[in-house]
């Protein structure tokens, strides 16, 4: 009896151990399978996140610009540069504060702090707009080798910086032709911002173009010594118009707003008087609008917007032209003249300007860039 009970106990115990072992093995297998599935899922999720992060990094190219004291709304080349960056940003799905930005400079002391702020915010490419930023862009390029820089209207020397210049003398020559054909007094004026080699290119080209049409035309030249003094621009324009000048070409940034204001004041008081302004850097047709008239004859359009987009695209594509000097002229579609005012810019004027443009392109005319070259050009007429 005892032996039979003992055998039964051994049998039950053995069966229990067997079932427990099977259960443990099943749980371990389930746990392993669950861990494997979890690991596989996690690997897939991590891979997807890594891919997304990789795509974001590939498209993470930030561009900013620092204005000179003329400001981003100078109706001139600062504004043109910002419009170019905005257009580039729109193509890349970026917006102000989200991949593109600008810093306003109210005085020269603002240049370096504005530049370094963008470096600190890890912008890949920083533009300095205007020759007055040359020294600070040069310093920043030397200090921050991992950041790319660009200077507009001057030249710096650094492997991580590009210099962007224009053949302003070519466009100024063309609007000089238009001025000489439009004037009825044979007296025209030029208002410059800061007397500098850059603005001398505008002056020289303008006078050369006008004298190519009429060697005896009178050209009055005055400098405001500022790109942000509209009051000074208005005063200079007042004196010029009072002296019988009827066409003024300005190359003075926001100072030129004063030239436009004076021309519009005169036109408003005497709608029959022929008074004109030639704009600069961008088509300034809107600046000349007054009632049913427009005092903007034409504009020497300097495509700063095209240049900044070109450089930004090169940087985005890993082809930043560091250490290079890029020059944009008529041939590069970087310089042109506006024909927006169809009443003022007659077909005769436009066709004549285009004839001179072709002479520049084919090398028949070498437009002077300095006063010395201008004097030699005048002697050849």
Burial class (CB within 10 angstroms; exposed 0-12, middle 13-18, buried 19+) of 374: buried
Tokens of 46: 């991590």
Let me know whether 152 and 224 are in one domain: no
Q: Please tell me the distance from the alpha carbon of residue 91 to that of residue 157, in angstroms, as a whole number.
A: 30
Q: Whole-number mean pLDDT of the chain?
A: 88
**Can you read off the two tokens belonging to residue 331?**
């041939």
- CA 362/CA 352 separation, integer angstroms: 16
Residues 233 and 256 in one domain: yes
Q: Please, which residues bridge with residue 103 across strands?
A: 66
Same domain, 185 and 131: no
E strands, 155-295, in order: 161-166, 187-192, 218-223, 247-251, 276-281, 289-290, 293-294
Confidence class for position 276, pLDDT limits 50, 70, 90: very high
Q: What is the pLDDT of residue 167?
A: 97
b/e sequence 185-218, b meaning 16+ C-beta within 10 Å: eebbbbbbbbeeebbbbbbbbbbbbbbbbbeebe
Helix (H, G, I), strand (E, B) or coil at 163: strand
Is position 2 within any domain? no
- Does residue 226 lie in a domain region? yes
Residue pair 273/264 in contact by the 8 Å Cβ criterion: no
Same-domain pairing of 234 and 366: yes
What does the alpha-carbon distance between residue 248 and residue 191 come to, in Å, rounded to a whole number?
A: 7
Q: Where a domain ends, among 166, 192, 213? A: 166
Residues 127 and 221 grouped into a single domain: no
Determine the structural domain holding residue 189 and report its residue range.
Answer: 168-301+346-380
Report, as an integer, the average pLDDT of 284-313: 96
Same domain, 233 and 372: yes
Tell me what percent of the residues of the chain surpass a pLDDT of 70. 85
pLDDT of residue 82: 97
Q: What's the token pair of residue 287?
A: 């600046």
Task: Give domain status of residue 307, yes or no.
Answer: no
pTM: 0.80
Whole-number Å distance between alpha carbons of 18 and 154: 89
Per-residue pLDDT at 115 = 98
Report the C-alpha gap between 341 and 345 in whole angstroms: 6
- For residue range 335-379, what is the model confidence (pLDDT) as tens digits? 999 999 999 999 999 999 999 999 999 999 999 999 999 999 999
**Residues β-bridged to residue 281:** 301
Say yes or no: 353 and 204 in one domain.
yes
Band of pLDDT at residue 36, cut at 50, 70 and 90: very low
Q: Of 127, 148, 166, at which residue does a domain stop?
A: 166
Among 166, 197, 216, the domain boundary falls at 166
pLDDT at 161: 98
Q: Are residues 216 and 247 in the same domain?
A: yes
Q: Do 353 and 245 share a structural domain? A: yes
pLDDT (tens digit per residue) in 127-183: 999 999 999 999 999 999 999 999 999 999 999 999 999 999 999 999 999 999 999
pLDDT in tens, 38-80: 444 444 444 344 334 333 343 589 999 999 998 999 888 899 9
Name the more confident of 25 and 184: 184
**Is 113 inside a domain boundary?**
yes
Looking at the structure of the chain, the number of domains it has is 2
Tokens of residue 368, six digits: 């002077």
* Local confidence band at 4 (pLDDT 50, 70, 90 cut-offs): low
CATH number for 94:
3.40.50.2300
Same domain as 198, residue 293: yes
Together in a domain, 186 and 161: no
Under DSSP, the state recorded for 183 is -
Q: Are 297 and 278 in contact (CB under 8 A)?
A: yes
Q: Residue 23 pLDDT more than 70?
A: no
Backbone torsions φ then ψ of 123, nearest 5 degrees: -75, 140
In a domain, 33, yes or no: no
């Amino acid at each position: 009896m005892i032996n039979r009970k003992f055998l039964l106990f051994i049998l039950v115990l053995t069966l229990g151990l067997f079932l427990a072992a099977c259960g443990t093995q099943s749980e371990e297998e389930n746990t392993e399978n669950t861990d494997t599935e979890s690991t596989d899922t996690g690997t897939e999720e991590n891979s997807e996140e890594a891919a997304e992060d990789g795509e974001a990094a590939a498209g993470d190219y930030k561009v900013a610009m620092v204005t000179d004291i003329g400001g981003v709304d100078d109706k001139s080349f600062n504004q043109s540069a910002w419009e170019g960056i905005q257009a580039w940003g729109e193509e890349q799905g970026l917006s102000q504060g989200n991949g593109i930005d600008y810093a306003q400079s109210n005085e020269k002391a603002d240049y370096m702090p504005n530049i370094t702020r963008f470096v600190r915010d890890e912008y890949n490419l920083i533009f300095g707009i205007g020759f007055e930023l040359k020294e600070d862009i040069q310093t920043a390029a030397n200090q921050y080798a991992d950041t790319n820089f660009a200077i507009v209207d001057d030249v710096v020397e650094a492997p991580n910086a590009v210099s962007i210049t224009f053949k302003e003398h070519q466009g100024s020559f063309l609007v000089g032709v238009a001025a000489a054909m439009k004037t009825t007094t044979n007296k025209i004026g030029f208002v410059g911002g800061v007397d500098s080699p850059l603005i001398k290119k505008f002056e020289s080209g303008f006078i050369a173009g006008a004298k190519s049409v009429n060697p005896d035309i009178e050209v009055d030249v005055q400098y405001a010594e500022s790109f942000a003094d509209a009051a000074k621009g208005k005063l200079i324009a007042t004196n010029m118009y009072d002296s019988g000048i009827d066409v003024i070409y300005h190359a003075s940034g926001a100072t030129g707003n004063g030239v436009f204001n004076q021309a519009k004041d005169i036109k408003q008081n005497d709608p029959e008087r022929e008074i004109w302004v030639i704009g600069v850097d961008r088509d300034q047709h809107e600046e000349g609008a007054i009632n049913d008239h427009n005092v903007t004859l034409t504009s020497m359009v300097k495509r700063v917007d095209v240049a900044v987009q070109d450089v930004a695209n090169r940087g985005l594509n890993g082809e930043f032209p560091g250490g290079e000097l890029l020059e944009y002229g008529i041939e590069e579609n970087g310089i042109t003249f506006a024909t927006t005012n169809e009443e003022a810019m007659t077909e005769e004027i436009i066709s004549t300007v285009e004839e001179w443009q072709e002479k520049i392109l084919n090398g028949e005319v070498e437009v002077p860039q300095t006063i010395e070259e201008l004097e030699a050009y005048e002697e050849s007429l």
